[in-house]
C-alpha cells in the first residue's frame, strides 16, 4: 500500500537517507523515534509537502513522488490539526469533500458512520475554539477519513492529550482501524503508544531506519544497545566473554563473573555482544521457598532488594546480585507486590528464562 524505496530527504537540519519501508494494505504501522529524528519530515514528504532528494514513493502500485498532495489519495492529520476556527465541526469535516466537489450522495452514509464512531453528534454545530483537545483530534480524524483515503497519515496524534483522553483516543484509533479497514501510518516518540497501537514498528534513529518488525520482536529483541535503551529495556550488559553452544542454540555470556545463557533463533550480530532483558521478564521467588523444577535450568541468581519504586500499575524493584553486586531491575504487577509484601533488604531469588534474554550488537 505504501512503499519507500531508497528515499533520501535533505531539509534544513534533517538528512534522512536509505529509507526503505513497505506497508501492507490494512496494517497499522508505527514509525517510532526520538524527538527531532525527522519522523514528521518523512510523513510530510509522503503527503507531498516536501520533495525527496532521491528515491521513490509508491501508494498502491502508483509512484507518487512528483504528484501534488491532492492527487495522492491520502488523509493527513498534522500535529497542529489545522482546524478552521471560523467553521463549525460539521463544516470542518466536510471541507475536503466540498473542495473536491464530491456530491453528498457519495459521502452521506460515511459521514453518519464517522459521526457515530467518533462520537461527534452533539458537537456538529460547535466551533473549534469551544472543543476539548480530544474533540479537536476526533474532528481532524473525521475530516481526513471523509474523502475515503487509501492511507491515513497521523503525526503524533496523542502527544498533547492528558492521559485519560489519550487512552480514550487510543481505543478510538483501534476502532477506526478495524471499522473502516484503513491503512494507517502513525509517527510517535512514545514507546508505550507504539506498542499499544501498532502491528509493525520501524525505529528511526540518526537519520536512518535501524530496525523494522512485528512489535513484540522490536520491543523484546532490539538489534543493538542504542535501540534497547530507547525502547526502555531496563537490564542491559556488555558481555566480557562469550561462547556458542550450537547444538543447543545457546550463547553463554559472562559479565563481571556472572554467567547468563540465552537462546538464539536468528543470526547473531557481530561480536562483541551486548545482551539484556526487560524488567517484566524477571521472575521473583522468596529466598525461603523451594525452586520449582521447571525453573532450575534457567538463569537463576540470588539477590537483595535495594529499592522499591511505585509506578501506578506496577512496582519497580531495584535488586543487587549478591556475588558481584550487578544491578537487576524487575517490574512487578501490583497484585503480586501486595501479595508477597516485599521489603528493603530482603533476600530473594530471581529467574530469567533463556528465551527472554536478547543478544544484541553493542
**Same-domain pairing of 112 and 191:** yes
Q: What is the pLDDT of residue 283?
A: 93
Quick check: is 316 in a domain? yes
Give the Cα separation of 302 and 323 in Å (integer): 8
- Listing DSSP states for 100-124 in one string gives TT--GGGTHHHHHHHHHHTT-GGGT
**For the chain, how long is the longest CA-to-CA vector?**
75
Residue 12 has pLDDT above 80, yes or no: yes
pLDDT digits 0-9 by tens, 111-144: 999 999 999 999 999 999 999 999 999 999 999 9
Quick check: is 256 in a domain? no
pLDDT digits 0-9 by tens, 15-46: 999 999 999 999 999 999 999 999 999 999 99
Instruction: State residue 245 phi and psi, 5-degree precision.
Output: -115, 90
- Listing DSSP states for 144-204 in one string gives HHTT--SEEEEESTTTTS-HHHHHHHHHHHHHHHHHH--EEEEEES-HHHHHHH-SEEEEE
**Same-domain pairing of 181 and 108:** yes
Give the Cα separation of 30 and 193 in Å (integer): 9
Q: Which of 169, 194, 220 is the last residue of a domain?
A: 220
> What global pTM score does this model have?
0.90
Domain encompassing residue 22 = 2-220
**Same-domain pairing of 25 and 151:** yes
Of residues 177, 151, 185, 232, the one with CA closest to residue 30: 185
Reading the block at residue 66, the C-alpha cell is 512528483
pLDDT digits 0-9 by tens, 181-227: 999 999 999 999 999 999 999 999 999 999 999 999 999 999 999 99
Instruction: State residue 166 phi and psi, 5-degree precision.
Output: -60, -45
Of residues 193, 196, 282, the one with CA closest to residue 233: 282
**Same-domain pairing of 27 and 99:** yes
With cut-offs at 50, 70 and 90, classify the pLDDT of residue 13.
confident
Q: What is the pLDDT of residue 289?
A: 66
**Same-domain pairing of 127 and 11:** yes
pLDDT over 70 for what percent of the chain?
98
**Same-domain pairing of 89 and 196:** yes
Q: Which of 203, 220, 237 is the last residue of a domain?
A: 220
With cut-offs at 50, 70 and 90, classify the pLDDT of residue 312.
confident
- What CATH number corresponds to the domain at position 316? 2.40.50.100
Query: What SS3 state is found at 58?
Result: strand
**Same-domain pairing of 70 and 167:** yes
Residue 301 has pLDDT above 90, yes or no: yes
Grid cell 540470588 — which residue? 302
Quick check: is 239 in a domain? no
Give the Cα separation of 278 and 220 in Å (integer): 7
Quick check: is 163 in a domain? yes
**Same-domain pairing of 182 and 33:** yes
pLDDT digits 0-9 by tens, 266-297: 788 888 899 999 999 999 987 776 667 777 77
Quick check: is 236 in a domain? no
Quick check: is 311 in a domain? yes
**Same-domain pairing of 213 and 291:** no
**Same-domain pairing of 59 and 152:** yes
pLDDT digits 0-9 by tens, 158-174: 988 888 889 999 999 99
Q: What is the pLDDT of residue 25?
A: 95
pLDDT digits 0-9 by tens, 319-359: 999 999 999 999 999 998 888 889 999 999 999 999 999 99
Residue 49 has pLDDT above 70, yes or no: yes
Q: Which of 184, 202, 220 is the last residue of a domain?
A: 220
Quick check: is 258 in a domain? no
**Same-domain pairing of 332 and 187:** no
- What CATH number corresponds to the domain at position 103? 3.40.50.300
**Same-domain pairing of 208 and 346:** no
Quick check: is 257 in a domain? no
Domain tally for the chain?
2
118's CB contacts (< 8 A; 6+ apart) are: 138, 139, 141, 142, 172, 176
Amino acid at each position: 500500500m505504501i512503499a519507500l524505496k531508497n528515499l533520501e530527504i535533505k531539509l534544513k537540519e534533517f538528512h534522512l537517507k536509505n529509507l526503505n519501508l513497505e506497508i501492507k494494505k490494512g496494517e497499522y504501522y508505527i514509525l517510532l523515534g526520538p524527538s527531532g529524528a525527522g519522523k514528521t519530515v518523512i510523513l510530510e514528504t509522503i503527503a507531498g509537502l516536501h520533495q525527496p532528494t532521491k528515491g521513490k514513493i509508491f501508494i498502491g502500485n502508483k509512484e507518487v513522488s512528483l504528484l501534488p498532495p491532492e492527487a495522492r489519495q491520502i488523509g493527513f492529520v498534522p500535529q497542529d490539526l489545522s482546524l478552521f476556527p471560523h467553521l463549525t465541526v460539521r463544516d470542518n469535516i466536510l471541507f475536503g469533500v466540498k473542495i473536491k466537489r464530491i456530491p453528498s450522495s457519495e459521502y452521506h452514509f460515511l459521514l453518519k458512520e464517522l459521526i457515530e464512531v467518533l462520537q461527534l453528534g452533539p458537537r456538529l454545530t460547535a466551533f473549534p475554539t469551544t472543543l476539548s483537545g480530544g474533540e479537536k483530534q476526533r474532528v481532524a480524524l473525521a475530516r481526513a477519513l471523509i474523502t475515503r483515503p487509501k492511507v491515513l497519515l497521523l503525526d503524533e496524534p496523542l502527544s498533547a492529550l492528558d492521559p485519560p483522553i489519550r487512552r480514550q483516543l487510543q481505543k478510538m484509533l483501534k476502532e477506526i482501524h478495524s471499522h473502516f479497514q484503513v491503512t494507517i501510518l502513525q509517527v510517535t516518540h512514545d514507546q508505550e503508544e507504539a506498542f499499544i497501537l501498532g502491528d509493525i514498528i520501524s525505529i528511526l534513529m540518526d537519520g536512518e531506519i535501524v530496525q523494522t518488525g512485528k512489535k513484540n520482536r522490536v520491543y523484546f529483541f532490539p538489534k543493538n544497545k542504542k535501540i534497547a535503551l530507547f525502547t526502555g529495556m531496563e537490564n542491559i550488559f556488555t558481555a566480557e566473554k562469550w561462547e556458542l553452544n550450537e547444538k543447543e542454540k545457546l550463547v553463554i555470556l559472562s559479565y563481571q563473573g556472572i554467567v547468563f545463557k540465552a537462546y538464539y533463533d536468528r543470526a547473531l550480530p557481530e561480536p562483541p555482544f551486548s545482551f539484556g532483558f526487560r524488567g517484566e521478564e524477571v521472575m521473583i521467588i522468596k529466598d525461603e521457598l523451594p525452586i520449582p523444577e521447571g525453573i532450575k535450568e534457567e538463569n537463576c541468581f540470588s539477590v537483595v532488594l535495594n529499592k522499591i519504586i511505585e509506578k501506578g500499575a506496577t512496582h519497580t524493584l531495584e535488586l543487587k546480585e549478591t556475588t558481584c553486586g550487578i544491578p537487576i531491575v524487575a517490574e512487578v504487577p501490583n497484585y503480586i507486590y501486595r501479595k508477597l509484601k516485599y521489603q528493603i533488604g530482603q533476600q530473594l531469588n530471581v529467574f530469567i528464562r533463556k528465551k527472554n534474554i536478547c543478544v544484541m550488537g553493542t
